[in-house]
């Protein structure tokens, strides 16, 4: 049903609300889409359209929309104890239980949680703690962090600096000092005649070159997303991460996995590290930690780093009012309970992800698609002008938006980054809904190809 106040809400939104990552003047002109309801894999907008959300909100609604248990837990915790902090030697029960649960779930000895409100804050926390870690071990000069061009680690000052988005650096004078970037692995464009496996090793060795250029005694840490999401789901060759890990160990550079997207089942494993077979010293989590029902993030530290911070770190001069917020912790715990007890990650790995991969590869046959890449429940279709070549459109981003809009008009939410159509559905998606994604995406590709005159 059409929301009776839609026009008024759009007017108020244009007048009073600045939207993140939007051209706000253009948006005000066009009118915001207002979402009103969600159930399972679907959302409804204020015009009454039912949309299959193949992007899980913003890579986050892993258990799907409308799980009443999370609301019930939040209401109970708000009634019992709505807030208390973890400063001054205090904390709350859900906070402690969540820290323990995360230690149990996290790979290896990532046993120690520091709570934040978001992925960006997790990465800001990491930057400060990593530099502190080396400083208290009498290596203050070991303060450089290396990230990757086009990596995304959030929008706060450290998050955006660690990330490698040039457009973000241009706003606000970033990156802050002592952050460097290397090129990310993207075989589709860069791989040439090399096999993906060969190319993965070559791309990883850029880290070694950079460490040697800067001097290992200056390099504190390397940060990367196991799969780069925002830039267009760049899935590295299988050789990439083990080689990165080897290089980090060789030069005693801390390895940071930003699992904000990959964590909590996105790849069909609990964490991207398990999908690719490597072990980080520190990891950032958010999004799927609460399936987006409430804002919460965390940093997980391994025993080595946590013990230095505890034994030599003194008072940690760092923390947020809402670090370990009891309501957020209780909701995250309930989310994890659902993921575990309903076997959602396991079902993805064994049943739905293989089916999704098969259907995604079929979409890869379309004449507009240069590459269909997928890992578990996250994927991309790279749209290209000429299927026989691995190259982008000359003017990037136009065709992606066309295709995205066709999908949307047809009841399917996909995201476009440049000309890649991105997929990251709720993990509870079933096979019939995967077929619906296939049908609607194929139709959107057909309409786009027809518009472009590509036969």
Q: Site residues (CB under 6 A) for ligand PXG? A: 21, 58, 118-120, 123, 152-154, 225, 229-230, 258, 260-261, 286, 297
Query: Considering the complex, what minimum distance in angstroms separates the CB of residue 57 from ligand PXG?
Result: 10
Sign of the C-alpha dihedral computed for residues 279, 283, 288 and 290 taken in this order? positive
Three-class DSSP category at 262? coil
Nearer to ligand PXG, 106 or 191 (CB): 106
The whole-angstrom separation of Cα 291 and Cα 141 is 39
Q: Residue number with the shortest CB distance to ligand PXG?
A: 119
Contact 232, 422 (CB under 8 A): yes
Nearer to ligand PXG, 225 or 419 (CB): 225
The whole-angstrom separation of Cα 81 and Cα 433 is 40
Contact 358, 444 (CB under 8 A): no
Of 224, 235, 262, nearest to 59 by C-alpha is 262
Query: Considering the complex, what minimum distance in angstroms separates the CB of residue 306 from ligand PXG?
Result: 21
Query: Considering the complex, what minimum distance in angstroms separates the CB of residue 288 from ligand PXG?
Result: 11
Three-class DSSP category at 37? strand
Nearer to ligand PXG, 202 or 284 (CB): 284
Nearer to ligand PXG, 228 or 437 (CB): 228
The whole-angstrom separation of Cα 189 and Cα 317 is 44
Nearer to ligand PXG, 153 or 181 (CB): 153
Q: What number of residues does the chain have?
A: 455
Q: Can you say how many angstroms the Cα of residue 31 is from the centroid of all Cα atoms in its chain?
A: 27
Query: Considering the complex, what minimum distance in angstroms separates the CB of residue 120 from ligand PXG?
Result: 3
Helix ranges (H only) for 231-380 are 240-250, 272-276, 303-311, 326-341, 344-347, 353-363
Phi and psi angles of residue 74, each rounded to the nearest 5 degrees, phi first: -65, -45
Query: Considering the complex, what minimum distance in angstroms separates the CB of residue 287 from ligand PXG?
Result: 6
Contact 130, 220 (CB under 8 A): yes
Nearer to ligand PXG, 146 or 261 (CB): 261
Query: Considering the complex, what minimum distance in angstroms separates the CB of residue 90 from ligand PXG?
Result: 25
Query: Considering the complex, what minimum distance in angstroms separates the CB of residue 149 from ligand PXG?
Result: 15
Query: Considering the complex, what minimum distance in angstroms separates the CB of residue 297 from ligand PXG?
Result: 6
Strands 42-45, 50-53: pairing kind? antiparallel
Query: Considering the complex, what minimum distance in angstroms separates the CB of residue 358 from ligand PXG?
Result: 25
Nearer to ligand PXG, 155 or 191 (CB): 155
Q: How many helices (DSSP H) and strands (DSSP E) are in the chain?
A: 18, 15
The whole-angstrom separation of Cα 140 and Cα 162 is 19
Nearer to ligand PXG, 154 or 268 (CB): 154
Contact 437, 412 (CB under 8 A): yes
Contact 200, 185 (CB under 8 A): yes
And the tokens for 119?
Answer: 């992925």
Nearer to ligand PXG, 151 or 237 (CB): 151
Query: Considering the complex, what minimum distance in angstroms separates the CB of residue 48 from ligand PXG?
Result: 27
Of 62, 38, 60, 180, nearest to 119 by C-alpha is 60
Nearer to ligand PXG, 254 or 378 (CB): 378
């Amino acid at each position: 049903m059409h929301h009776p106040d839609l026009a008024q809400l759009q007017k108020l939104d244009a007048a009073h609300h600045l939207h993140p990552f939007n051209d706000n003047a253009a948006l005000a002109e066009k009118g915001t889409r207002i979402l009103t309801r969600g159930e399972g894999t679907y959302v409804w907008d204020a015009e009454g359209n039912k949309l299959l959300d193949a992007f899980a909100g913003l890579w986050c609604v892993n258990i799907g929309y409308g799980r009443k248990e999370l609301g019930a837990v939040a209401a109970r915790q708000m009634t019992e104890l709505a807030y208390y902090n973890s400063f001054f030697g205090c904390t709350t029960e859900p906070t402690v239980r969540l820290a323990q649960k995360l230690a149990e779930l996290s790979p290896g000895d990532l046993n120690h949680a520091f709570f934040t409100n978001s992925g960006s804050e997790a990465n800001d926390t990491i930057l400060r703690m990593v530099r502190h870690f080396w400083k208290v071990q009498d290596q203050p000069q070991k303060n450089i962090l290396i990230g990757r061009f086009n990596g995304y680690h959030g929008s706060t000052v450290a998050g955006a600096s660690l990330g490698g988005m040039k457009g973000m650096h241009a706003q606000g004078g970033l990156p802050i000092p002592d952050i460097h970037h290397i090129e990310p692995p993207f075989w589709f464009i860069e791989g040439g005649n090399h096999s993906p496996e060969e190319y993965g090793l070559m791309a990883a060795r850029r880290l070694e070159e950079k460490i040697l250029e800067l001097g290992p005694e200056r390099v504190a840490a390397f940060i990367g997303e196991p799969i780069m999401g925002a830039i267009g789901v760049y899935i590295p060759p299988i050789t990439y991460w083990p080689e990165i890990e080897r290089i980090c160990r060789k030069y005693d550079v801390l390895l940071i996995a930003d699992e904000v997207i990959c964590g909590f089942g996105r790849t069909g494993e609990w964490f991207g590290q398990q999908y690719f077979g490597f072990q980080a010293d520190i990891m950032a989590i958010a999004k799927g930690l609460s399936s987006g029902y409430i804002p919460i993030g965390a940093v997980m530290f391994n025993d080595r780093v946590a013990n230095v911070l505890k034994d030599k770190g003194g008072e940690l001069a760092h923390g947020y009012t809402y670090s370990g917020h009891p309501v957020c912790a209780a909701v995250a715990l309930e989310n994890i309970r659902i993921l575990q007890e309903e076997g959602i990650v396991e079902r993805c790995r064994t049943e739905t992800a293989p089916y999704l991969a098969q259907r995604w590869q079929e979409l890869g046959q379309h004449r507009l698609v240069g590459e269909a890449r997928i890992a578990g429940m996250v994927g991309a279709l790279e749209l290209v002008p000429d299927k026989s070549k691995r190259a982008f459109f000359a003017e990037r981003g136009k065709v992606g938006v066309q295709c995205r809009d066709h999908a949307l008009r047809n009841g399917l939410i996909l995201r476009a980054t440049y000309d890649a159509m991105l997929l990251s559905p709720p993990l509870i998606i079933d096979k019939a809904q995967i077929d619906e994604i296939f049908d609607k995406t194929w139709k959107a590709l057909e309409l786009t190809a027809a518009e472009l005159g590509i036969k």
